[in-house]
């Protein structure tokens, strides 16, 4: 009766990995229990999410190697895996589910960076923003509800917002990955989208230093001023202090991403007998609510919703 925070299936956003083919369920070794699904499987997962009361899916494509390139042009293809997945979800469940799409070039570039690079491999901010605008318009035209730029370029929220308005996508929201850290917890995700082996160097010139906290507030302030509807902190559990500072300062919807390495950590702990899996899942997800999150992206979404629904 006196409990201050509760977790419900409506707090969960379910990230899904999409792959080509049909009838494909391709398990990801470093992310036990998580698979890449072909479009038919994505439709099934969408119906499952609706029946569980999960309000939103987040999509990530595993682009075929031959479709990756230096400039990541496949991100602009109206028939790419991401756009086909969006349309598949619409066909399967109509408007009863939100679709959040990731904006960054890493699933499409042959070098695995989130943006366009110069000769030395340095990511070029402004040229990347132009590409991200095209990617966002492509996703919005396919029917995305929420555009989620995860690239951490400066100025991309303003550019994407202006472009969406200009093309009459006035109702498409932007959830900015505003405080995204250069983290060691993204490894299994990079396996899942196939960028890990390709990535040269690191992402420290555009993702944040784990030692910084004030900088997160500056990043969030910029993204909100540029037109973001909500903001995200990422990774999740090691950065709950950032969630709380952002929530207290800005009073906007704050989301967190319990990223792939966090998921793998919980699964490994449970498999090693270090704790009860269901209890670990529900306690960690509730902690996001306590820290101030409106919702959390988690690979445990379906399992947690099943537990919560009893």
Nearer to ligand PBG, 181 or 246 (CB): 181
Nearer to ligand PBG, 59 or 224 (CB): 59
Active site residue 289: no
Q: Exactly one of 203, 204, 234, 247 is catalytic; which is it?
A: 234
Nearer to ligand PBG, 47 or 155 (CB): 155
Q: How far is the CB of 27 from ligand PBG (least distance, A)?
A: 16
Nearest to 151 by CA among 131, 165, 169: 131
Q: How far is the CB of 202 from ligand PBG (least distance, A)?
A: 9
Q: How far is the CB of 310 from ligand PBG (least distance, A)?
A: 28
φ/ψ (deg, to 5) at 220: -65, -45
Active site residue 200: no
Dihedral, CA of residue 297, residue 199, residue 62 and residue 186, to nearest 10: -20
Which residues are documented as binding site for Mg(2+)?
219
Nearer to ligand PBG, 89 or 299 (CB): 299
Q: Exactly one of 180, 203, 247, 289 is catalytic; which is it?
A: 180
User: Nearest residue to ligand PBG, using CB?
Assistant: 189
In the complex, the residues that contact ligand PBG under the rule CB under 6 A are: 102, 104, 106, 114, 150-151, 186, 189-190, 203, 259-260
Q: Annotated catalytic sites, by residue?
A: 180, 234
């Amino acid at each position: 009766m006196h409990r201050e925070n509760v977790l419900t299936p409506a707090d969960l956003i379910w990230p899904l990995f999409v792959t080509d083919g049909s009838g494909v369920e391709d398990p990801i070794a470093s992310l036990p229990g998580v698979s890449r699904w072909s479009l038919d499987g994505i439709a099934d997962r969408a119906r499952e999410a609706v029946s569980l009361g999960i309000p939103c899916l987040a999509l990530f494509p595993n682009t075929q190697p031959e479709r990756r390139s230096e400039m990541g042009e496949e991100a602009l293809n109206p028939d790419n895996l991401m756009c086909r997945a969006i349309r598949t979800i619409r066909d399967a469940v109509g408007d009863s589910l939100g679709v959040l799409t990731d904006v960054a070039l890493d699933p499409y570039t042959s070098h695995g960076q989130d943006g366009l690079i110069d000769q030395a491999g340095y990511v070029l901010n402004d040229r990347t923003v132009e590409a991200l605008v095209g990617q966002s318009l492509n996703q919005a035209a396919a029917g995305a509800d929420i555009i989620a730029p995860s690239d951490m370029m400066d100025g991309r929220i303003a550019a994407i917002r202006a472009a969406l308005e200009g093309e009459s996508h006035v109702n498409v929201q932007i959830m900015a990955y505003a405080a995204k850290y250069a983290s060691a917890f993204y490894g299994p995700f990079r396996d899942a989208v196939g960028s890990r082996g390709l990535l040269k160097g690191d992402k420290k010139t555009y993702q944040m230093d784990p030692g910084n906290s004030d900088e997160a507030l500056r990043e969030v302030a910029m993204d909100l001023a540029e037109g973001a509807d909500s903001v995200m902190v990422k990774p999740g559990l090691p950065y709950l202090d950032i969630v709380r500072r952002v929530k207290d300062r800005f009073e906007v919807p704050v989301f967190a991403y319990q990223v792939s390495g966090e998921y793998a950590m919980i699964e490994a702990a449970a498999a090693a007998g270090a704790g009860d899996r269901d209890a670990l899942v529900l306690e960690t997800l509730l902690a996001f609510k306590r820290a101030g999150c409106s919702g959390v992206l988690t690979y445990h979404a379906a399992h947690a919703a099943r537990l919560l629904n009893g």
